[in-house]
Amino acid sequence: MTTSIDFATIISAAIVAFAVSALILLLSNLWASFSSRFKSRKGFRGRILFEAGEELRRQVRRRDALCYRHIIAMLVFSVCFLTILVLGRRDWWTELPVGIWMVLGAALVGAMVYYLREFLLMVRSRARLAYLRDANIALGHGLLHSTVKGNRVFHSIPVGGDIVDNVVIGANGVYAVNVIVPPKHSAKTVQLKKDKLFFEPGNDSVSLVEHHNKIKSLARELTPVVGHPVKVLSVIGVPGCQVITTGSDQHLVVNESNCVMLTGWRVPDAYLMSEEVQKIGEFLLWKCSRRKDRRRSKDRREEARQGDERRAGKKRRASKNSRMPLGGSLKAKGSS
SS3 270: helix
SS3 46: helix
**pLDDT at position 199, please?**
86
Which ranges constitute the DSSP H helices of the chain? 2-35, 54-87, 98-143, 209-226, 274-287, 294-322, 325-335
Spatial neighbors of 190 by CB under 8 A, at least 6 apart, are 182, 197, 198, 199, 200, 238, 241, 242, 243, 244, 253
Whether the CB-CB separation of 204 and 187 falls below 8 Å is answered with yes
At 228, give phi and psi (nearest 5°).
-155, 160
Per-domain residue ranges for the chain? Answer: 2-35+44-140, 147-287
Mean pLDDT, rounded, for 68-83: 89
Tell me: the pLDDT tens digits for 127-150?
889 988 988 898 888 888 888 778
For residue 156, give the nearest of 172, 133, 174 by alpha carbon: 133
Tell me: the pLDDT tens digits for 61-74?
889 988 998 999 89
Count of CB atoms situated within 10 Å of the CB of 157: 21
User: Minimum mean pLDDT among 4-8, 241-245, 318-322, 327-331: which range?
Assistant: 327-331
**pLDDT at position 75, please?**
92
Amino acid present at 276 = E
> Is residue 224 reached through a cis peptide bond, with omega within 30 degrees of 0 on the bond before it?
no
pTM: 0.71
Mean pLDDT, rounded, for 199-217: 84
Q: 147-287: which CATH number, 1.20.1250, 1.10.10, 1.10.12, 3.40.1350?
A: 3.40.1350
Q: Is the dihedral of CA 290, 139, 153, 225 positive or negative?
A: negative
Mean pLDDT for the chain overall: 78
Tell me: the pLDDT tens digits for 9-52?
788 888 888 888 889 889 888 888 887 676 655 565 666 778 88
Beta bridge partners of residue 247, listed in sequence order: 252
Q: Determine the Cα–Cα distance for residues 73 and 100; give it in Å rounded to an integer.
A: 27
Whether the CB-CB separation of 225 and 109 falls below 8 Å is answered with no
Strands of the sheet containing 242-243, edge to edge, are: 204-207, 196-200, 189-193, 242-243
**pLDDT at position 17, please?**
87
